[in-house]
Chains A and B, each alone.
Chain A
């Protein structure tokens, strides 16, 4: 059997020394960004108590920062940003649709179960 990874598409991804420099610069920028976001997250987590009034904002900022980090990892480190549009959407769209649906039913159900415990005891 002929192996499809031996020739063809894989060769298209080669780049020169100069292009490499630009790519490495981008990698280090993203590294600095990911580190900075992690430091902010830890600082918020360590200093703001869950009982404080600011917590709901902190919680949502955690989720936004996490998605931001995930976006950079997938788009830059995993090179999904450099792939064809069709591949990008084949990977991302079904996943997000399914996850959004699952999160929705799980939280609705958990709320209902929590209320049932409260009403009928356990």
Chain B
């Protein structure tokens, strides 16, 4: 705030030019320079994302279709979860700026209180991101399906629960008449990908054949994401027709008709690059949040032990604060360009 003119400074403590042209300390200035370079990195990543998306047009997934789940509550809540994550990060940014403000008043207790709140907020955000990743990797119950005409569709709706597998033909482990009730979804998806479901009969790992008892799906909707000979990108197919087309593909008995979730080679949401960008951009940001929390913990310990109080000012808190706000700033852009637009 106040320039150097109002404050006599010992020349030996000034940097080479005898006076800082910006009236800030070397440390704070370097933190700003680091943040600018980091912002260039994130800017580059997001622009690369924009480039790929601009090029791919309609095949690209839409945020509110991809991210519409909440922990414990299931589907049908578009963007609520990411909005919650955004809110957590904004609040932790606020507690950080309050810690910096307390530092300017040399209020040690206040600094500790608000820094602990910031650290808790940071952990909440990292935890939320872990859930989000896990959900993204495991994917939906329906998966992305390749239809009879070669087009690919994502599926919305409520997946009817699988109740059990009733063994019709004995294999190595299961006897005829056994009713299997464990690990159903996992086995079902494996069988779908391997093409081991034929007209409602599943072939299990041990070679036994079983009937799938499953509740009916509700509100099914297919959204075409890749052109086929009949269905074109962007088409929505609803109701019974959607259900028939989906099960026609699943029950065909040939492998690799369906993709569940995401990995580095393929994903059910859209083009392959979409998964890569998701993992890289949110992962790189998540790593920044994680290191931010670690730095905050270290500085908080410094505050508790009184290091900065003895020094006469809490500029270290201000510098970590800059980094923490920057993490929030990046998320504001990731939120817009990855989830909203």
Contact = CB atoms under 8 A, between A and B. Distances in A.
Interface in B225-273: 234
B305 interface: no
Interface in B89-130: 90-91, 93-94, 96-98, 100-102, 104-106
A77 B96 CA distance: 9
Contacts of B64: 45-46
A76 to B, nearest CB: 8
A17 B97 CA distance: 16
Contacts of A41: 83, 335-336, 340
Contacts of B40: 95, 98
A107 B54 contact: yes
Contact of B54 (A11, A42, A111): A111
A87 B28 CA distance: 11
Given A62-B340, A77-B325, A46 B79 contact: yes
Is the contact region of chain B dominated by helix, strand, or loop, or is it mixed?
helix
Interface residues of B, number: 79
Contact of B25 (A4, A45, A103): A4
A12 B20 CA distance: 14
Contacts of A107: 50-51, 54
A28 to B, nearest CB: 8
B74 interface: no
A42 B78 CA distance: 9
Interface in A76-110: 76-79, 82-84, 86-87, 90-91, 94-95, 98-99, 102-103, 106-107, 109-110
Interface residues of A, number: 66
Given A103-B47, A110-B55, A87 B24 contact: yes
B105 A16 contact: yes
Interface stretch (B3-11, B204-212, B274-282, B292-300): B3-11
Contact of B101 (A7, A20, A51): A20
Contacts, number: 194
B13 A8 contact: yes
A119 interface: no
Contacts of B26: 4-5
A62 B333 CA distance: 10
B184 interface: no
A38 B90 contact: yes
A102 B114 CA distance: 38
Interface string B35-68: 0100110011001101110111100001110000
B104 A14 contact: yes
A10 B25 contact: yes
A52 interface: no
A54 interface: no
A35 B90 contact: yes
A110 B54 CA distance: 6
A84 B4 CA distance: 11
Given A12-B1, A14-B105, A91-B36, A31 B51 contact: no
Interface of A: 2, 4-17, 20, 23-24, 27-28, 31, 34-35, 38-39, 41-42, 44-46, 50-51, 59, 62-63, 65-66, 69-70, 73-74, 76-79, 82-84, 86-87, 90-91, 94-95, 98-99, 102-103, 106-107, 109-111, 113-114, 117
14 contacts: A4-B15, A6-B311, A6-B312, A9-B23, A14-B313, A31-B94, A39-B83, A41-B336, A74-B325, A77-B96, A91-B32, A95-B40, A110-B52, A110-B54
Given A9-B28, A50-B62, A84-B24, 17 more contacts: A5-B316, A7-B13, A9-B23, A11-B312, A14-B106, A15-B104, A23-B101, A27-B98, A38-B83, A45-B78, A45-B340, A46-B80, A65-B336, A73-B329, A77-B328, A95-B36, A95-B39
